[in-house]
Amino acid sequence: MNNPKIDIRLIVVSVIILLVALSRLFPIMPNFSPIGAMALFGAAFFSKRWQALILPLVAVWASDLLINNILYKQYFPEFTLFYSGFYWQYGSFLVITLLGLTLFKKLNATRVAGGILGSSLIFFLISNFGVWLGSTVYPQNFQGLIACYVAGIPFLKGTLLSDAFYTTVLFGAYFIAQSRIPALKTAK
């Protein structure tokens, strides 16, 4: 009988990401979300690039389904697969994952700290650009773009705090799991 090898690393990393994605159902403060940390974590610990790019994105989409169709149902009159402007958030998520794939070829505390800062800045720049581009509030010129970025600065605090918190939790949980499950120590 042919028994396929179970990839324990894939299972553990996927479960951790899914559980953290569900924390989005309990909002703490504006922009306090595990999304950037999930992208960094996936980049660091999935064995294959496609897993790092796709699986955390699927977890975000699944949590979006719950958020849009249950938690904030009053704002979405019909079942919502994707909300307006989702591609800016998802696009920033993919760019953050690419940053992590580049940065975490060698994993250390300095690179993780750089990933946290980079993740927050990438999300800030891409999401606010998307707000400006689709806005009728901000003029579609350089001054309007700068005004949009300035208006987004208060939300940067939540992004920075959540990226630091969730990255620490995700990486810490994985390192603890590695100490208890030897199969997780295998090279990426």
DSSP 4: P
Mean model confidence pLDDT for the chain: 90
Burial of 163 (0-12, 13-18, 19+ CB in 10 A): buried
Residue bearing the bigger pLDDT, 1 or 57: 57
Residue 9 confidence (pLDDT) above 60: yes
pLDDT at 28: 86
Domain annotation for the chain: domains and CATH numbers: 8-182 (1.10.1760)
What percent of the chain is modeled with pLDDT above 90?
Answer: 62
The DSSP string of 120-169 is HHHHHHHHHHHHHHT-SSS-SSHHHHHHHHHHHHHHHHHHHHHHHHHHHH
Binning pLDDT at 50, 70 and 90, where does residue 19 land? confident
Query: Average of pLDDT values for 39-56?
Result: 92
pLDDT at 139: 95
Binning pLDDT at 50, 70 and 90, where does residue 2 land? low
At residue 44, φ and ψ (nearest 5 deg) are: -75, -35
pLDDT tens for residues 58-91? 999 998 999 899 888 888 889 999 888 899 999 9
> What does R_g of the chain's alpha carbons equal in angstroms?
18
Q: Is the dihedral of CA 111, 116, 121, 127 positive or negative?
A: positive
pLDDT at 188: 52
Residue 185 confidence (pLDDT) above 80: no
